[in-house]
Amino acid sequence: MAVTHSGAGMLSVTLVVAATHSTLGIGRAGSLPWRLPRDMAFFRLVTSACNDESSRKPAVVMGRKTWDSLPQKFRPLPNRTNIILSRSVVSHGEGTFTFASLTSALDALSSSDSKSAVPPASKVFIIGGAEIYAEALRHLSASRVLLTIVYPPDETALSLDTYLPDFRKSEDWKLASPEDLRKYILEEVQSEEAVSLLPKVGERIKEKGYEYEFTLWERSQKYFTS
C-alpha cells in the first residue's frame, strides 16, 4: 500500500469506522445499515474527549456526503472541530472548515500559526465516507484504526454497496490486543466512560439483533522511523 506523506506535524490521526467482519461493508444507499446505540455512544465519547492542557479540541474529518448524512440537529458535531473534505471549497456553516484534500486539512490542523482560522487540534479522527477512509489508509499520518467489527445474522440481507479497503490483509497494519485497546482509550483518549463501554475480553456486545466488538489496529512503526 502506497503511503502519502504530509508536511504536517505528526498529529494523532485515527480512523473510526464500523464494518462487517467478512467484507468490511460500511454502508447502504449512502447511510449506515444499522443503528447500534452503544457503538454510537463509544464513537461520541472517543472523538470528543479533550485531554489537551492547552484546551485544544479534537477534530473530526469527513467527506461532504458524510456531512450531509448527519441529522441537522447534530451538525456540526459538538465539542469537535468539524472538517469537511470537498472538491468545492464552500462554507458549510459556523463551526466547520472545508478543504479540498486530506493533506491540506491535516496541515491546517497541525499549524502553529496564530493567524490561522482553523484551531489547532489535539488529535484527529477520520469518520468517513469510503473514499476518505481509503485515502486516510494511504496517508502517513494515520497510525490507528478503531474498527467496530459487526457480525450481522445475514450479511447478504443488508444489501451493502459501500466497503472499506481490507487493510487487515496488509502487513502494514497489526491487530492490537484488547489490553492495548483499553490502554489507548484510557491513556491517550482519556475517557473512562468510553472504557466502561468495552465488553469483557472474549465477549461481544449484543444489540438490536447484531453482535459486535471494538478492535484497535495500529500501523507498523517502520513508517515512522524513516
The DSSP bridge pattern shows strands 59-63 and 124-126 to be parallel
Classify 8 as helix, strand or coil.
coil
Predicted pLDDT of residue 38: 97
C-alpha to C-alpha distance for 120 and 46, rounded to whole angstroms: 18
- DSSP one-letter code for 62: E
Which residues, including other chains, have CB under 8 Å from residue 72's CB and lie 6 or more apart?
A: none
Record the cell numbers describing residue 133, joined without a space.
477512509
pLDDT at residue 193 in the model? 93
What phi and psi values does residue 200 have, to the nearest 5 degrees?
A: -65, 150
Write the CA distances from 216 to 5, 46, 62, 149, 181, integer angstroms: 23, 13, 20, 10, 6
Specify the pLDDT at position 225.
45
Question: CATH classification of 13-25+37-153+170-209, choosing from 3.40.430.10, 2.90.10.10, 1.10.260.40, 3.40.50.2000?
Answer: 3.40.430.10
Do 60 and 82 form a contact (C-beta atoms < 8 A)?
yes
In the three-class reduction of DSSP (H, G, I as helix; E, B as strand; rest coil), residue 27 is classed as strand
pLDDT at site 190: 86
Q: What is the pLDDT of residue 224?
A: 46
Q: Is the pTM of this model over 0.95?
A: no
Going by C-alpha positions, the residue among 135, 60, 140 that lies closest to residue 101 is: 135
Query: Counting beta carbons within 10 angstroms of the beta carbon of residue 192, is it exposed (0 to 12), middle (13 to 18) or buried (19 or more)?
Result: exposed
The residues of the chain scoring below 50 in pLDDT are: 5, 7-8, 224-226
Residue 8 has what pLDDT? Answer: 46
